Amino acid sequence: MDKADKIANEGRKSISSYCINDCKSYCCRKGYLVMSKKQLDVVVNNKKEEYKNEIKELKNGKMSLFLGSSGKPCPSLREDFKCGIHSNPERPKVCGDFPIFLRKESKTVLLSPRCLAVKNNLLYPYVKKLQLEGYKVLKVDELPDISTINFSDK
Protein backbone atom coordinates (compact mmCIF):
# COMPACT_ATOMS: atom_id res chain seq x y z
CA MET A 1 0.00 0.00 0.00
CA ASP A 2 1.52 3.29 -1.09
CA LYS A 3 0.95 6.81 0.21
CA ALA A 4 -1.96 7.53 -2.16
CA ASP A 5 -3.75 4.36 -1.01
CA LYS A 6 -3.25 5.37 2.61
CA ILE A 7 -4.65 8.85 1.96
CA ALA A 8 -7.66 7.43 0.11
CA ASN A 9 -8.32 4.91 2.91
CA GLU A 10 -8.09 7.67 5.52
CA GLY A 11 -10.64 9.65 3.51
CA ARG A 12 -12.99 6.68 3.27
CA LYS A 13 -12.71 6.01 7.02
CA SER A 14 -13.30 9.69 7.80
CA ILE A 15 -16.79 9.55 6.31
CA SER A 16 -17.94 6.16 7.62
CA SER A 17 -20.03 7.61 10.46
CA TYR A 18 -21.55 10.17 8.07
CA CYS A 19 -22.40 7.41 5.59
CA ILE A 20 -24.22 5.31 8.17
CA ASN A 21 -25.90 8.02 10.25
CA ASP A 22 -26.59 10.87 7.83
CA CYS A 23 -26.50 9.47 4.32
CA LYS A 24 -28.00 6.08 5.27
CA SER A 25 -25.69 4.34 2.78
CA TYR A 26 -27.25 5.92 -0.31
CA CYS A 27 -24.62 4.28 -2.54
CA CYS A 28 -25.89 0.87 -1.42
CA ARG A 29 -29.51 1.77 -2.09
CA LYS A 30 -29.42 3.41 -5.54
CA GLY A 31 -27.55 2.81 -8.78
CA TYR A 32 -25.70 -0.16 -10.21
CA LEU A 33 -23.01 -2.40 -8.81
CA VAL A 34 -20.74 -4.03 -11.43
CA MET A 35 -18.76 -7.06 -10.30
CA SER A 36 -17.56 -10.54 -11.17
CA LYS A 37 -19.87 -13.57 -10.92
CA LYS A 38 -17.99 -14.72 -7.81
CA GLN A 39 -18.45 -11.32 -6.16
CA LEU A 40 -22.15 -11.36 -7.09
CA ASP A 41 -22.54 -14.66 -5.24
CA VAL A 42 -20.99 -13.05 -2.15
CA VAL A 43 -23.21 -9.96 -2.40
CA VAL A 44 -26.55 -11.69 -3.00
CA ASN A 45 -25.72 -14.69 -0.80
CA ASN A 46 -28.94 -16.69 -0.55
CA LYS A 47 -31.14 -14.01 -2.15
CA LYS A 48 -30.28 -14.70 -5.81
CA GLU A 49 -33.84 -15.69 -6.73
CA GLU A 50 -35.26 -12.61 -5.00
CA TYR A 51 -32.91 -10.36 -7.00
CA LYS A 52 -33.09 -12.18 -10.36
CA ASN A 53 -34.81 -9.22 -12.08
CA GLU A 54 -32.11 -6.83 -10.86
CA ILE A 55 -29.18 -8.95 -12.11
CA LYS A 56 -27.89 -8.61 -15.66
CA GLU A 57 -24.85 -10.11 -17.36
CA LEU A 58 -22.85 -7.50 -19.27
CA LYS A 59 -21.08 -8.01 -22.61
CA ASN A 60 -17.69 -8.08 -20.86
CA GLY A 61 -18.76 -11.02 -18.67
CA LYS A 62 -19.20 -8.91 -15.55
CA MET A 63 -22.46 -8.86 -13.66
CA SER A 64 -24.57 -5.78 -12.96
CA LEU A 65 -26.83 -5.54 -9.94
CA PHE A 66 -29.43 -2.79 -10.05
CA LEU A 67 -29.98 -1.24 -6.63
CA GLY A 68 -33.15 0.54 -5.71
CA SER A 69 -35.98 -1.05 -7.67
CA SER A 70 -39.05 -1.67 -5.54
CA GLY A 71 -37.12 -0.58 -2.46
CA LYS A 72 -34.46 -3.25 -2.91
CA PRO A 73 -31.10 -2.01 -1.66
CA CYS A 74 -27.92 -4.04 -1.89
CA PRO A 75 -28.72 -7.51 -0.49
CA SER A 76 -25.74 -7.17 1.86
CA LEU A 77 -26.92 -3.88 3.38
CA ARG A 78 -28.16 -4.45 6.93
CA GLU A 79 -31.04 -2.57 8.55
CA ASP A 80 -28.55 -0.43 10.51
CA PHE A 81 -27.12 0.76 7.13
CA LYS A 82 -23.87 -1.14 7.66
CA CYS A 83 -22.45 -3.60 5.15
CA GLY A 84 -22.96 -7.25 6.03
CA ILE A 85 -19.92 -8.32 3.98
CA HIS A 86 -17.60 -5.41 4.81
CA SER A 87 -14.82 -7.63 6.14
CA ASN A 88 -15.25 -10.34 3.48
CA PRO A 89 -12.15 -10.35 1.23
CA GLU A 90 -14.37 -11.41 -1.69
CA ARG A 91 -16.62 -8.34 -1.59
CA PRO A 92 -16.49 -6.22 -4.76
CA LYS A 93 -13.45 -3.96 -5.00
CA VAL A 94 -15.68 -1.08 -6.06
CA CYS A 95 -17.41 -1.28 -2.66
CA GLY A 96 -14.12 -0.99 -0.82
CA ASP A 97 -12.86 1.82 -3.04
CA PHE A 98 -16.05 3.90 -3.03
CA PRO A 99 -16.20 6.92 -3.26
CA ILE A 100 -12.50 7.52 -4.07
CA PHE A 101 -11.21 5.72 -7.16
CA LEU A 102 -7.46 5.94 -7.82
CA ARG A 103 -5.90 5.25 -11.21
CA LYS A 104 -2.25 4.92 -10.35
CA GLU A 105 -0.95 4.49 -13.89
CA SER A 106 -2.36 7.89 -14.90
CA LYS A 107 -2.17 9.44 -11.40
CA THR A 108 -5.81 10.40 -11.53
CA VAL A 109 -8.57 10.21 -8.97
CA LEU A 110 -12.31 10.21 -9.46
CA LEU A 111 -14.70 11.06 -6.67
CA SER A 112 -18.09 9.47 -7.16
CA PRO A 113 -20.69 12.06 -8.11
CA ARG A 114 -23.34 9.87 -6.41
CA CYS A 115 -21.73 10.18 -2.98
CA LEU A 116 -23.35 12.69 -0.64
CA ALA A 117 -20.08 13.09 1.29
CA VAL A 118 -18.40 14.11 -1.98
CA LYS A 119 -21.25 16.51 -2.77
CA ASN A 120 -20.86 18.04 0.71
CA ASN A 121 -17.08 18.35 0.22
CA LEU A 122 -16.27 16.20 3.27
CA LEU A 123 -13.28 14.63 1.50
CA TYR A 124 -11.60 17.95 0.68
CA PRO A 125 -8.58 17.48 3.02
CA TYR A 126 -7.81 14.09 1.48
CA VAL A 127 -8.31 15.32 -2.08
CA LYS A 128 -5.83 18.11 -1.33
CA LYS A 129 -3.30 15.55 -0.04
CA LEU A 130 -3.74 13.45 -3.19
CA GLN A 131 -3.18 16.53 -5.33
CA LEU A 132 0.03 17.22 -3.42
CA GLU A 133 1.09 13.68 -4.35
CA GLY A 134 0.64 14.61 -8.02
CA TYR A 135 -2.83 13.20 -8.61
CA LYS A 136 -5.25 15.02 -10.88
CA VAL A 137 -8.87 15.00 -9.78
CA LEU A 138 -11.15 14.22 -12.72
CA LYS A 139 -14.45 15.95 -12.91
CA VAL A 140 -17.45 13.92 -14.01
CA ASP A 141 -17.91 16.02 -17.16
CA GLU A 142 -14.39 14.97 -18.26
CA LEU A 143 -15.58 11.37 -18.52
CA PRO A 144 -17.51 10.19 -21.58
CA ASP A 145 -19.65 7.65 -19.70
CA ILE A 146 -18.82 6.79 -16.11
CA SER A 147 -20.53 3.39 -16.41
CA THR A 148 -18.00 2.20 -19.01
CA ILE A 149 -14.89 2.89 -16.97
CA ASN A 150 -13.16 0.15 -15.00
CA PHE A 151 -11.87 1.84 -11.85
CA SER A 152 -10.34 -1.21 -10.28
CA ASP A 153 -6.76 -2.21 -10.93
CA LYS A 154 -7.79 -5.89 -10.75
Give the chain's residues under pLDDT 70. 70, 140-154
Cα–Cα dist 29/75, whole Å: 9
Per-residue pLDDT tens over the stretch 116-131: 999 999 999 999 999 9
Cβ neighbors of 141 (< 8 A, separation 6 or more) are none
pLDDT on residue 150: 52
pLDDT per residue as tens digits for the range 5-17: 999 999 999 999 9
Residue 140 is predicted with a pLDDT of 64
Burial of 75 (0-12, 13-18, 19+ CB in 10 A): buried
Give residue 141's pLDDT.
56
Q: Do 75 and 45 meet the contact criterion of CB atoms below 8 Å apart?
A: yes
